[in-house]
A and B are shown apart, each in its own frame.
Chain A
Amino acid sequence: MNKLKIGLFLLFSSFTASFAIAANDANQYASIKSAIEKNTPVYTDAYAKNVKGITYGLEMQNGFIVPPKENLGYTSRKSFDGNKLLGYFQPGTDIVFYVNGQSNRQYPVSEKAEHVFEVGNATITLKFETKDLPILPSSNMIVDDPSFYSNAKVYFVTMDMAPLTIKVETAKEQEQPKEWFDPTLRYNYVQDVKALKNQYLSGVNLDTLDDKELEYLARKMHAERRELGIKFKAATPDHYRKKIYKRNLSKYGDQYGPTISYLRNVQGKSWKEIINSATVPGGGDLWYTGVSYKLGEWRHKIGSFFSGNKKESL
């Protein structure tokens, strides 16, 4: 453990090596701003000449300054004005600006500044107004995350005290045709989840099972419930399903949702909680899936009624 701590210390000590980005002048700022607004490539050689003391890597990509792809984390996304660290962004669900010496304090761009940030369809609009942020007038910020915004351009934003609006549009995702939930599929899916519950939990009192038995049951039901999700994937319209898989992959590291390891180690769920949550169909709390289920139920009842009559007539 001590070795690990020492290793971590050394690792992060090396991160503290700095690079410097000198403040750019007003003309350069204006040209970059104008170019970005026109969505044209920005030629930043002049800017690049001002980059000093690169120790662990900046590279030029499409005319923008970005950290190397193999960067070791957000800590490398720092900008300096002279020797003073101004801050860096943490890309993610929100954009946050950090200030040197105040690593605990995160200044939300979205709240303290006028800010719009959209990822859907890869349209990204950023509006910064810096008057509430404790930074110098000529500061530099790097906003990038090629891995997360895979179809967005990497872009670089220079801030000034004046409000700055930058709009970067990238290729929009192709509009998906809208589909309705297939009522029969939705109904069958819910019925299968109910059947799973009956198969494993009918007449079982979970309180009487020991930990090993609960674990066995939880793993079994987790696996089967996951199979149901895959089997009935067509119960969810294609355009929603793509979103779900994408969300799951980025949120849980697995397109089919949280793994046992995630449920246990990240969410702290007990075996019993995993067993119980495996019996929930999900998605039914939204009115259209509820309506879809009801339609499926009626269709099923009508079908049963006629097939029952047929049997009688035979």
Chain B
Amino acid sequence: MILLQSKDLFDDILLFDPQTSEKHYLKRSSSPEFAEVPIKGTFAILGGHSLMLYRLGSQLMFSIDEKTIPIDDTLSSVLQKKKKNGLLILKNSSTELLRFEYTLDDLQQMIPGDTTPHLGEEDFDFCTFVHNVLNNHQRRSFIYQAPEA
């Protein structure tokens, strides 16, 4: 079992068993026993699809519904966006592994005049977040490794 954090709601966490793909959605506020358990991934539900980016041992993984893609050095991502519509493509050197079209809902938008620090597009779009991680080697190797801060 690994613990994943929702990218949309801080109170939502997910216990995920990579062996059986079993998922248990929990509320952080009702699950104090997991307060000290390190986060090993994040998840979001986009257009009804379950998306997860997580680490198993040293291996970073991306999954969408039942499809799981190990992220290795041969994997690259392409993101195309037009307003609220996006297309995420994951491919290795020769093969396209995933083509995911999605539409962001209205709740996932920047609020005018927002002075909150450290916000970017990836805060409101899980695919942009995944794309940014995959295209940043340092972040790719760092993410979900640090039991700190």
Contact = CB atoms under 8 A, between A and B. Distances in A.
Interface of A: 4-5, 7-9, 11-12, 15, 70-75, 90, 92-94, 96, 103-112, 119, 147-148, 181, 186, 189, 222, 225-226, 228-229, 232-233, 235-237, 240-241, 243-244, 247-253, 256-258, 260-270, 273-274, 277-278, 280-283, 285-286, 288-289, 292
A264 B117 contact: no
Contacts of A108: 47-49
Nearest to B66: A104
A103 B15 CA distance: 12
Contacts of A263: 118, 149
B39 A105 contact: no
B117 A257 contact: yes
B125 to A, nearest CB: 12
Contacts of B95: none
Contacts of A92: 6, 8-9, 12, 45
B65 A264 contact: no
A71 B30 contact: yes
A103 B22 contact: yes
B135 interface: no
Contacts of A288: 112-113
A93 B105 contact: yes
A107 B50 CA distance: 10
12 contacts: A71-B30, A93-B45, A103-B21, A106-B48, A106-B49, A148-B9, A263-B149, A264-B149, A265-B38, A268-B144, A270-B138, A277-B117
Interface of B: 1, 5-12, 15, 21-31, 33, 37-39, 42, 44-50, 65-66, 105, 107-108, 110-120, 122-123, 129, 133, 138-139, 142-144, 146, 148-149
Contacts of A262: 10
Contact of B45 (A96, A248, A261): A96
B119 A94 contact: no
Contacts of A232: 115
B50 A285 contact: no
Given A73-B31, A75-B24, A288-B112, A282 B119 contact: yes
A117 to B, nearest CB: 9
Please report whether the interface of chain B is mostly helix, strand, loop or mixed according to DSSP. loop
Contacts of B146: 264-265
Contacts of B6: 92
A268 B25 CA distance: 22
B5 A248 contact: no
B45 A94 contact: yes
B117 A222 contact: yes
Contact of A277 (B23, B27, B118): B118
A260 B114 contact: no
Contacts of A119: 107
Contacts of B10: 249-253, 262
Nearest to B119: A282
A288 B111 CA distance: 11
A270 B123 CA distance: 16
A168 B113 CA distance: 32
Nearest to A70: B30
B148 A264 contact: yes
B66 to A, nearest CB: 5
Contacts of B65: 104-106
A77 to B, nearest CB: 9
Contacts of B15: 8, 12
What 3 A-B pairs are tightest by C-beta distance, nearest first?
Answer: A108-B48, A268-B143, A73-B26
B66 A256 contact: no
A226 B117 CA distance: 6
A205 B146 CA distance: 25
